A and B are shown apart, each in its own frame.
Chain A
């Protein structure tokens, strides 16, 4: 060890003191972080559908359904020989974890999947307001306006004066329960449950048959999907929306939250989950389910394409049932939508790609991959598990029951939910304390 370390430490201490004196003085506006933040570019797209001549490469970054995106790109490139699209797939947690960095960097992709944090990015002008395209391309005709209104980030368009638009939906997602038909039969389970209580009986039956009842990929997002699916059945949908949207006074600390959390704990105590649920990612739990490791699996429709391919007719799907048979179908879901970076040099080409997503051809690809296309009438009737999902979608939409994901409530909510549900599954936290930690994060974010 160098002998000079000690002297050095003294020196550092002196320098630190000097710095401590200077800093408050220096904290004037010019030095305040953020004061020089450059406005990234235009805030809105042009209002024409013109696509410039010449070869263009669009980079698309996304987190859901790589097979679907690849197929969409291939179909789009066929129709637009001048434009090539380069897909950049990240897993959901990598994607969300890096989204802000990515979209505020100079190498932001031209097009990016809409996710948590996009609201903030929209507010700061990092993604383009697409409202002019909405009119120019006539998207109100090809997409139910409701789906577009999910994507306004709560803002008005500066360009058109109407509602802003920060993404174009390529399909609606939805979480629910997959089941292995052979294993279900083994356990004496006859068809999808009509009520939550009946579902619990089926889980118990699977347990009695010495099978793993429910696959949960709680290492990543699987746990929060389960918790949210239960919450959706127990909490009035309007209250839930208020909470996710940050409406003043909303809270998750209520009886529904407690009951949903208690169910997660109870099912764990009854060994309904795979033993290592907390150590298993969503992707892994899906692969294990496909191999026949569990009777049920909590996941979203984004896994449907893969499961239909590997399991064929042996897999079915149902949305989490409500407390009684007549209850509306409520499930977490969100438009898998794509936003355009304000740093793109090719807003015209990006517009063409987004417009392609609203076409019947794209709708067919979207439907084949288990997503509900923006315009379901225009596609062929799906089969097998895809039909189950389409039916679930139909019921949920009819009941106005597609709620968004709970992690949309605040940027740090995903981590709180993930670690919180892990604790519930491990029986390491009181449901009330878990909800309290969520509400703390909510209040911190929605304080202003």
Chain B
């Protein structure tokens, strides 16, 4: 933490007096944390090698994939200029500047000297474009990249497509860094982690094909969700926390302290969506909204890693109550506490030195500079002790427990704020796809149940007053004012879609395929001898008449998120029927 204070906006500070000790302490702290997990391997395993519901990762695959696709489709406008030898760099110049070891280990005429020279080249900044970058080759590679991203989004050969997407995207990114934005860096790091994530185990064509084969091949129950290793998602969470914390720390300039940073950002010609925004920004600054948001944004970013601690504490609390938290003998617990305390102690000392060197005395004129080390090291220790004390005080007091663990340390506050912050940034400024890719990365955080609930929510309707817990508001002003919130908060399940199927096994199996698409859990099934085998017959609760074949398929477009891409044409006379017929084919039903 102390070392992080090195971000203070000061010129080079001579820290040589404590550099060696700080380095030793930092390494000791790292060693102690490693020792903590060696003593408590069950916590390490619980954190990283648990098996997770695949649905959040699957949603993230789709969201991230769409943003990456958007990024690269948008980049096609400049592809000739950026990546081909008819653009900014002739191949040789790009290789010379950015090719790393390829520059010397590969000769355009004679190739590699040894076959094993390929390994040091790959361990560098290798891009195939440093060997060849004529437009035909580049466009071919670019097309392959777009195809692999589309496959990744759809979940077709997901693992292969994810690896290909990363490899091919890197070929372009490594050619030259001149065009990079923050969004590109986020794309790169999450595509890398995505390769290791088995995010094709839900909401993918791979998964549909596998389950379909199992159901039609004789399975007697719906195939269960295939759980996936947690560690790629955990690393994604860590990466997101690192991004926010680092950017918060780096925002150490005066404008982030006096609250003018957002005003200046919103007024920069390079970013605003409309020049007229300047008037809005000035007004918001004048009434004090922007200064508050500026300071808030900085500290929210800086403190974002708190949510990781919150997740760990909430997980412990939940599993402690359930009795599923991994147990360890007392001696290991005590030893692990000592190790963690040691690591935090090292951090506290480094914090003290950081304060001594980097906090300008003018910021704290009432404190003698000589006492900075002792005061800040003590403060760091006090914060840790206070956190433990607060935990023990709060854990058995339900009201406080909810306030601290559920809200203060809970994901919803941090992520929902982040979501609104990015939406705000995106509305006011054009900084490429940074906001979108950051929001896509949020899907690494929810649980599978939360994703399931989100789909059920999306496919539910607002409850009427007096139903499903929605209060009947008597005062007219309250009724009008709170109606939008009540509609969002109190929901009633949508109308059931009743599938009438023939009772024979084949029809039952084909009807069961529909359940794989029913994320809002709106389907009901009724056996009906009068329905021909495998025929798709649909009745909507509260609506008279039945829909058959393409008509039924057209109705199902409303409740199957996997087919929402066909939904816009649902009401267009001929196209709607065609979309319904296509849905029937996709769903493997008889029209």
- B is bound to A: no
